[in-house]
Structure formats: C-alpha cells, structure tokens
Structure 1
Amino acid sequence: MRLMTRSLLLLTLIIPALSGLRLEAAEKSKPLNFVFILVDDLGYMDVGCNNPDTFYETPHINGLAKSGMRFTNGYAANPVCSPTRYSIMTGKYPTRVDATNFFSGKRAGKFLPAPLNDQMPLSEVTIAEALKEHGYSTFFAGKWHLGPSEEFWPEKQGFDINKGGWSRGGPYGGKRYFSPYGNPRLEDGPDGEHLPDRLATETAKFIDAHKEQPFFAYLAFYSVHTPLMGPNALVTKYKEKAKRLGLEGQVEFAEEEQVFPVKEKRKVRILQKHAVYAAMVESMDRAVGKVLKQLEASGVADNTVVMLTADNGGLSTSEGLPTSNLPLRGGKGWLYEGGIREVFLIRWPGGAKPGSTCDEPVITTDFYPTILDLAGLPPKPEQHLDGVSLKPFLQGEEPLHREALYWHYPHYSNQGGIPGAAIRMGDWKLIERFEDGRVQLYNLKADLGEKQDLAAQEPERVNQMRQRLHQWYKETDAKFLQAKPGGPEPWRPEK
C-alpha cells in the first residue's frame, strides 16, 4: 500500500513536469513571427539608445534596444528613401536595377542625373513573397514609395493586407498627418486622428488576429518625413523643454558645403531643439510602443523577432532643417555618415543577448537573408545577392568579415548632397565624386565626423579602395551622370 502511494505521488509529480516540457518544446517549435519597423528620415542621433543627450524622447525604441542587439555601424543602402526600401525588400543593392534615387527624383545640376528606374520590378521575389511561400500571413502599413501605380503596390508584392502604402513618398493628401488622409489605401478615421497612431493600431489589430499562425508585419511609418506637423500638446511640451534647457538663443545653424549653385548659402542644423520635429519623433516612438505592447498582450512577444531601422539619415540641410546629426557630418541626401548611418536594432528573444551591441558594419540588404535564416527557411541567393545573414552576430559568434560596403548615388538631391559613391572597408571610407572624380578618404574610427580628408596622405589606400569600388560598378552595372545637350562631359570611371 505504501509503495502504491509513493508511485502515485511520483506520477503526480512527473506527469505535470512532462506536460510542461512538451509545452515548452511545442513553443520552441513554433515558427518565429517577424515585425519590421521602418522609420522615414530618422537620424542616427535622434534616438536615446544611440545618443543619451538627444533632445527627443524615445523610451520605447530605447527599450527595444535594451531587449535586443544594437548595431552601432548600421547603414541604409542609400541616402534617400526608395532605394533603401528596395534594398530591404530584395536584399540587393538598388544600383543593380537603377533604382538609385527616390522614385520620380530627376533633378539636374551641373550635369543630368543617371537614368532612374522608378519601380520595383514585379520579377523580384520580395521578403514578403518568400515568407508567404512558407505559410506566413503578411501585412504592410505606411509608406511604400516603390512604384508609380497600383500594379507595383504592396498587394502585388507579397502582402496580404495593405494599410496606407501607395505611390507617394509622404502624407500629402487631405490633412496630411491627420485624418482625413486622402490616401486611397487607408480609410479615413475620425477627424483629427493622428497617422502614426493609426498605422500602429492597424498593425496591432493584425498581430492579434494572426497570433495563432506565423506572421510578418511590416510597419513603415510616414514619420518623421515632412511636412513638419505634430500634435499640439507635444509641440507645446518641447517648446517648454527647449526653454527649460536654456536652448533658446543658442546658435542653431552653421554653413554647409555648397555642391551646386543655390540662391542662398546652404546651412546645416547643429542644435537639436525643433519642437515640431521633436513632437513627431515622440509620436512615432509612442506608436512603436503600441505595437510592442500588443505583442505582449497577444502572447507572442517571446516568439517574435522585432527589427527597427530608418531609410536614410536625419534631415539637416533642407526642408526646414529640423534635426542635427552631429557629430555625424551631413544628413539626408549626403554620402557622409549623417546621411547613411542608421539606428539598427534587432530583438530576437532567446537568441540575441538583451542589451548587446555589435560594431561590425552592416547594411539594409542584410535584413532579408537574416529573416530567412532566423525562420529556418532556405536562402534565396539568386535574390539577396548583396546581403548576408546577421544571425552569427546575434548569437555572439565571430562570422567572416565581408570585404566592403557600397553606396551609389548618381543624382542631385534637394538636400544638397554630392552625386557620387562611397565604399567602406574596415574603418576606412572613401567617397568618389561624379562631377569631377575627386575623392575623399576618412578613418571613421579616428574621425567619425569626417573632418580630416586623408586622401593625399594615403595614396596606396586610395588606389586600392578605388579599384575595388570600380570593380563593384562593373558587377552592378552602375550608371553615372550624363552630359546636358551641348554641354561638357562629366567624369567617368575608367573601363
């Protein structure tokens, strides 16, 4: 009798334990979900996890960084929006299909710009299509800007649901950042509803509705792109904050490099204090918080990878000059670090160590192969030609270092950037200007602000890096500036 009692007691202890183990194993075997968050025009120095002294308040993005890995040398594939968005969707440098400027951007300067393809070809197998092939439900909200007409919009590129993605690069219809939106892919909400909150709400609804199946939610904020508009209460908050911090009356602008003739000398913002822009940043951060909170509420936070980045650097030299990227030089539209270095965060529960950092240079082409690798799905090497999986970094392993990262911007931007290209090899970065072929060389480890051009002092390094850059031009069929009718010929790399 005593033996039977002990046996029953053991069974009462063992069965729940085994059930718990089976439940844990089942949880681990569930496919990972993915939430990808892309912020428009957000500067590297605009968020607290990169810049503790930032004027703006980003507690939810900071919290995301603390719960995952922060890449300190993360880059956009281009200093403006559409090309970087293309690189994320395809895993390719946009140069391969001549998608090298924001779509429809054909400004001339001293020369004509390079030919521009203003659509993401339907032949591309996007990351959404790759995941959909394996049973993922797919969702898009926000800014698309990857094609001029419906046949190129999210529904035709692998997304089951599209809330707000169409041809335009900003919220330019209706009341713009407030409802009514005048957006053919987003129903109007109550009058005055705020766009970033609405996009987050739609994303949260999708997450909760699909919590029992694998999903891919892509939230591409229109924020913090112009027009500069924010909720009145937050604008007032930051005006008062600027006064409290003694920022009123301080020097806000400095002279910037003049790239092509303008009526007035171009300026660059050197002080963060723009109240409306600050309100836009905080509103976007609150929307990020709403999505993260929904992951918890839906019980899928521990099984969902969250990625967050931006499409180009902060807007510091044009269109109101709302933010400062210092100590980074330049901003949106420039090949300097202020135009291409981005906030770059990945939270992989159970995979990436919370609060960890990685200093290895990475770029937006890497997201596609990383997502497939984390999902345990086969790679598409014919598709993501230029990206590599970041899974080894996330696991704290020592991966093979790639030789270089590249940027190619053969255009004149309204922000004043230089038509040119850049290559980063280790700590060294070389910029090649397309008007005349001049080069600049910087050691980013010693000179993050790109103030000291070392090209004249390092001729062998310049030659090596230019050769590799020119080889990349050939590999990607890069295009260059064109002569105006009857005008002089621009510089061309040697064939």
Structure 2
Amino acid sequence: MSICKKILGGLIALGAMAPPTVAQQGKPNIVYILADDMGYGDVSIYNPDSRISTPHIDGLAREGMRFTDAHAPTSVCTPTRYAIMTGTYAWRSRLPVGVLRGYGRTLIPQGSFTVGSLLQQQGYHTAVIGKWHLGLDWAVKESHRGVLNPSNPQMNEFGMLRDMDPEHIDFTQPPKGGPLSLGFDYSFILPASLDMEPYCYLERDTLIELPTAHTPGNDLNTGYTGAFWRAGKMAPSFEFDRVLPTFTDKAVQYIEQQAKQPQPFFLYLPLPAPHTPWLPADDQRGASSAGDYGDFVQMVDDAVGRVLRAIDSLGIGQNTLVIFTSDNGPYWRPQFAERFDHHATGPYRGMKGDAFEGGHRIPFIVRWPAAVKQGTASDALTTLANLPATCAAILKTGIPTDAAPDSYSILPVLKGETAVIPGQRAVIHQASNGYLAIRQGPWKLIDGLGSGGFSEPQSEEAVSGGPAGQLYNLEKDPQETTNRYQQFPDKVKELRALLEEIKKMQKTH
C-alpha cells in the first residue's frame, strides 16, 4: 500500500460512522490551530501594510474576537507548546531553557495534567494532527541502554536528555511518551520541526514508515531561511512540500468523521508552517509580495480556510470554538524587511527568539458564534498558557490544585464581561537564551541586556553606572526604543519582586 493511501485511510479505525448529531449541549467542539513562526504583522487584519494576503484568517477575526496584546510564553517553539499543553511556563520544566530536536526525549512526564487529559475526562474525543515537538521516548537499542543513565553527562539536572544519537535508536519499536499517553485519543504527527530529522510521520504513536532513507539537507547556506532543512534520516516516501497539505487533509477528514459522532471533539492542529523550509506550492509561488516566506504564509491561510469550510459545511460552526494563533514571532531578518518592504512583526521590535515584542507578540483570534460576539477586538493581556484554564471554565470543571499554575481563564473576556483576565497579575515571556521578561499593565521588565534571541546583539554586559536590565512603557513606547530602567528604579524593584514571587508560586484553582 502506498504511503498516500496509508495517510488518507488512517482515520477509518476511529470507529464506525454514526448518524449525524451535534455535540453535547454546553460542550463546544474545540479546534486549536497553531501556526509555526508566524508573525503579528503577517496577518493583514493586524497589519494593513502587510505584503501578504490572509483572507481566511481575516474572515475568522471578523466572525469572532481578535486579541491585540496576546503573547507566546516563550519566543521559540518547544517551550510554548509545553505551556499550551500544561498551563505551565516551561522554565518550570525539565527543559528550563531551549528547544528539543527530533530525537529529544519526552518533555511532559507521563501522568501529567494536560489540556488533552482534561478534555478526555469531560467526554471529548481528542486528537493532535501536526508538528508535535514535545519529545518522544524513542526505543533504545540494547547495546546503548547506558545513554539513559542519570549519570550520563548529556542529562541535565532534571533528568532530561535533549537529543539522542539516532544510531542508538531502535526504530522498529514504537516510541513511548507520545500524544496517546498525554491525553489524546488519536495522533498523526511530525516529531519536530520540518527542518529537523527524523523526517517521518507517526500515527497513533507508531511510525508509518521506518526512516531508512537519508537526505543530505537543503539550502544549508541560507542562514536557516528559504527551503532549508538539515541532513538526516527520513522515510523513503517522505515529501517535504506535502507535509502542510497532508496535515490539512487529515484535519478535515478528522472533523468530518467526528461531526457525525455523539461526543464533542478537541482537535489540536499545530501546523508546520511558515517555519522553514519555506516550500510554497507551485500554484502559490509568487502569490504574495514577500517572497517564498510570504507565499508559504498564504498557504497557511488556505489551510485555515479549508478547516473553517469543513466546520461550517457540516453545520457545527455555531457550537465550535476555533482558536487561531502562532507559537512565537517570525524568523524575519532586517534585510528581508528591507528587501520586501514587509514587516512580519508589524510595528514591533525584534523577531523569533527575542525578549522584544516581535519575538512573542502574536496573532490570536477566537471564533465561537454561540458565545463570542462577532467583529470584536480585545486589548486584554493574555498568553497561550491560558488554554487549559479557559477550557475548564467553559466546561464548569476544576483543575487539580498542583496543575497549570500559570493558566487563567479568558472566558470572561470572550463573553464581554470583563476587559482584563481575572486573577492574572502579570505574564512572563522567555527569550531563547533564557532571559525572562515580566509584563504588567504597560510596563515590561527584561532581566538582561540585548535581545536574548536572534536579533543582534543577543546579550550585552552591564557597564559601571549603566542599566542592568531593560524597562519599557509599551503604552508610550511600543517599539521599545527607550530603556527606562534607570529612570524608574521603583518600578524595576516592584516588577523584579513580582517576577520572583511568580517564579516561586504554586497557584491553586
């Protein structure tokens, strides 16, 4: 059987078709679409000067609520995904700084609370289709068992091995610690980013095809842009330019099947784009005015459109909560902004990886016709860690007292009852080098000098008589041009104290 037939037929075993029905009253279907490295300024409804057209995402905003002050907890992908799943900032985790690669071990310990397990317990059928990037416990060959010994120098203090040597892995054995052990009934995933080996799909935590082939990599001298991917193992039938369409096909098929079932469903759809490799389809190439990156963003918009059409055509749109957002800011260097006259972060400074706003301020749109007034906008400060508490509030259920300490419900904002998120005193952002930034009201404190990410300089040494960190008033200075650290020492002291308090906090729900 061909790999395509395997992919398109994989969902049949989910269960026999039942007569059409609607989700249980009061329990909306939930579809969470997460773009990968997509900027605030890439979406045309956020940025009128965008050189990219996003009509489907714009339409979603017109039919729901658009947030203008939403943030990824971290400006790179793995830790943001950890926070989405657990409601916990990743600097509290076994991997307090950095990201996993494709052979990284499972970051979320088995038995942990996740938004998937919460919804399973509330009667939902749960699925993840897309880029996982939270690690898998790949089977280890008998001759290499020692790599998992806690005394291994590659293990961190939390017992976390960030990456494995693929020669130590037995790919004939299914890995453990995947989505099925973390609250999902069905999974169809890429292990990590589309530019990281192994290049293969896993369905229900099992490889569809062994990664017995090898790719030499592509566009290796582009500075991690263009059609870049690293060398490594791949499945023989793997096609890089078919990954985004494949995930979209699977998502639509899943929605079509679950719409006919009596139970509500949760679909987590972490798209692999527009993260590198930038691989627009032939019929999309040149469609934007921002090069291959812009064309790839427009393919993401088309994927969102297909998912929305599936939901609406099945008559389940009224009671389906759809969230569209991104895991962090774009990897869009200054020379690209100049070349294409496109500012992927909109008016904000920095890019992916940075503590600056461009690294973590993201599009965030919610459509739920049964509860959210269409065509509305909110400037409520929010973060992607708030998903678990929001789902719990919608379902009028609780969260274990030792779980999701950084998650707060945005439901009162969605319903128009409040302008701010109750109980949330501040939000914390993390840069790729570990810098923490705390935001409360208009004030933002960064606990270091430099971007903390990919913008130069990443870090700077404090000089005698100079500031030791950065303080910005985003209401007056949204571009973060003027460091007020020395001008407002009391505000610095106040925010530092609050940051330390939150770091030590164990919230009860």
- Residues of 1 paired with 2:118 and 2:276: CA distance? 32
Kindly indicate whether the alpha-carbon contact (under 8 Å) linking 1:80 and 1:101 is maintained by their aligned counterparts in 2.
no
Q: Deviations over 1:202-242 (max 9, x none)?
A: 1111111111321001110000111122112322333xxx4
Which residue does the alignment assign to 2:446? 431
- Superposed displacement of residue 32, structure 1: 1.1
Cα distance change of structure 1 residues 439 and 352 upon mapping to structure 2, 3 Å threshold: same
Does 2:378 match 1:362?
no
Trace 1:434-473 onto structure 2 (pairs within 5 A): 438-473=468-503
Kindly indicate whether the alpha-carbon contact (under 8 Å) linking 1:313 and 1:342 is maintained by their aligned counterparts in 2.
yes
Kindly indicate whether the alpha-carbon contact (under 8 Å) linking 2:26 and 2:395 is maintained by their aligned counterparts in 1.
no
- Residues of 2 paired with 1:49 and 1:98: CA distance? 38
Question: Which stretch shows the higher mean deviation, 315-324 or 63-72?
Answer: 315-324
Does 2:46 match 1:50?
yes
Q: Which amino acid aligns with 2:188?
A: K
Kindly indicate whether the alpha-carbon contact (under 8 Å) linking 2:106 and 2:177 is maintained by their aligned counterparts in 1.
no
- Residues of 2 paired with 1:84 and 1:303: CA distance? 27
Q: Which amino acid aligns with 1:433?
A: G
Q: Deviations over 1:148-194 (max 9, x none)?
A: 4332221221111111242x2225469xxxxxx63344758897863
Which residue does the alignment assign to 1:34? 30
From the two aligned structures, give the one with the greater helix fraction.
1
Kindly indicate whether the alpha-carbon contact (under 8 Å) linking 1:373 and 1:379 is maintained by their aligned counterparts in 2.
no
Kindly indicate whether the alpha-carbon contact (under 8 Å) linking 1:235 and 1:278 is maintained by their aligned counterparts in 2.
no
Which residue does the alignment assign to 1:304? 320
Q: Deviations over 1:266-307 (max 9, x none)?
A: xxxxxxx3x100111011110111111111122211111011
Cα distance change of structure 1 residues 318 and 132 upon mapping to structure 2, 3 Å threshold: farther
- Residues of 2 paired with 1:404 and 1:192: CA distance? 40
- Superposed displacement of residue 311, structure 1: 0.8
Q: 2:428 is matched with which residue: 386, 397, 406?
A: 406
Which residue does the alignment assign to 1:164? 189
Percent identity between the aligned chains? 32
Unaligned runs of 5+ in 1: 1-25, 106-115, 175-180, 243-272, 413-418, 477-495
Q: Which amino acid aligns with 1:203?
A: A
Trace 1:49-198 onto structure 2 (pairs within 5 A): 49-104=45-100, 119-149=107-137, 150-166=175-191, 168-172=192-196, 182-185=200-203, 194-198=242-246
Q: Which amino acid aligns with 1:420?
A: Y
- Residues of 2 paired with 1:120 and 1:351: CA distance? 32
Q: Which amino acid aligns with 1:296?
A: D
Question: Which stretch shows the higher mean deviation, 379-388 or 224-233?
Answer: 379-388
Q: Which amino acid aligns with 2:189?
A: G
- Residues of 2 paired with 1:99 and 1:318: CA distance? 30
Q: Deviations over 1:440-463 (max 9, x none)?
A: 111101111100111121111111
Kindly indicate whether the alpha-carbon contact (under 8 Å) linking 1:103 and 1:147 is maintained by their aligned counterparts in 2.
no
Kindly indicate whether the alpha-carbon contact (under 8 Å) linking 1:97 and 1:117 is maintained by their aligned counterparts in 2.
no
Kindly indicate whether the alpha-carbon contact (under 8 Å) linking 1:374 and 1:391 is maintained by their aligned counterparts in 2.
yes
Count of paired positions: 393
Kindly indicate whether the alpha-carbon contact (under 8 Å) linking 1:99 and 1:118 is maintained by their aligned counterparts in 2.
no
Q: Which amino acid aligns with 1:441?
A: L
Question: Which stretch shows the higher mean deviation, 395-404 or 343-352?
Answer: 395-404
Question: Which stretch shows the higher mean deviation, 373-382 or 320-329?
Answer: 320-329
Unaligned runs of 5+ in 2: 1-21, 138-174, 210-236, 450-458, 463-467
- Residues of 1 paired with 2:124 and 2:300: CA distance? 26
Cα distance change of structure 1 residues 141 and 319 upon mapping to structure 2, 3 Å threshold: farther
- Residues of 1 paired with 2:346 and 2:324: CA distance? 21
- Superposed displacement of residue 319, structure 1: 12
- Superposed displacement of residue 63, structure 1: 0.8
- Residues of 2 paired with 1:395 and 1:329: CA distance? 32
- Residues of 2 paired with 1:72 and 1:465: CA distance? 23
Which residue does the alignment assign to 1:224? 274
Q: Which amino acid aligns with 1:128?
A: G
Cα distance change of structure 1 residues 328 and 118 upon mapping to structure 2, 3 Å threshold: farther
- Superposed displacement of residue 117, structure 1: 8.7
Cα distance change of structure 1 residues 171 and 159 upon mapping to structure 2, 3 Å threshold: farther
Local SS of the residue matching 2:325: strand
Does 2:397 match 1:377?
yes
Which residue does the alignment assign to 2:161? none
- Residues of 2 paired with 1:68 and 1:381: CA distance? 32
- Superposed displacement of residue 340, structure 1: 0.8
Q: 2:254 is matched with which residue: 206, 212, 218?
A: 206
Which residue does the alignment assign to 2:284? 234
- Residues of 1 paired with 2:115 and 2:398: CA distance? 12
Local SS of the residue matching 1:232: coil
Which residue does the alignment assign to 2:435? 420
- Residues of 1 paired with 2:106 and 2:74: CA distance? 15
Kindly indicate whether the alpha-carbon contact (under 8 Å) linking 1:69 and 1:358 is maintained by their aligned counterparts in 2.
yes
Of the two, which has the highest radius of gyration?
Answer: 1
Question: Which stretch shows the higher mean deviation, 147-156 or 80-89?
Answer: 147-156
- Residues of 2 paired with 1:36 and 1:319: CA distance? 33
Local SS of the residue matching 1:95: helix
- Residues of 1 paired with 2:399 and 2:502: CA distance? 23
Q: Deviations over 1:386-431 (max 9, x none)?
A: 111111101111253632111234x53xxxxxx4111111001011
Q: Which amino acid aligns with 2:393?
A: D
- Residues of 2 paired with 1:51 and 1:136: CA distance? 36
RMSD: 2.7
Kindly indicate whether the alpha-carbon contact (under 8 Å) linking 1:70 and 1:358 is maintained by their aligned counterparts in 2.
yes
Cα distance change of structure 1 residues 148 and 28 upon mapping to structure 2, 3 Å threshold: closer
- Residues of 1 paired with 2:309 and 2:392: CA distance? 25
- Residues of 2 paired with 1:460 and 1:367: CA distance? 33
Q: If the length of structure 1 is used for normalisation, what is the TM-score?
A: 0.74
Q: Which amino acid aligns with 1:387?
A: S
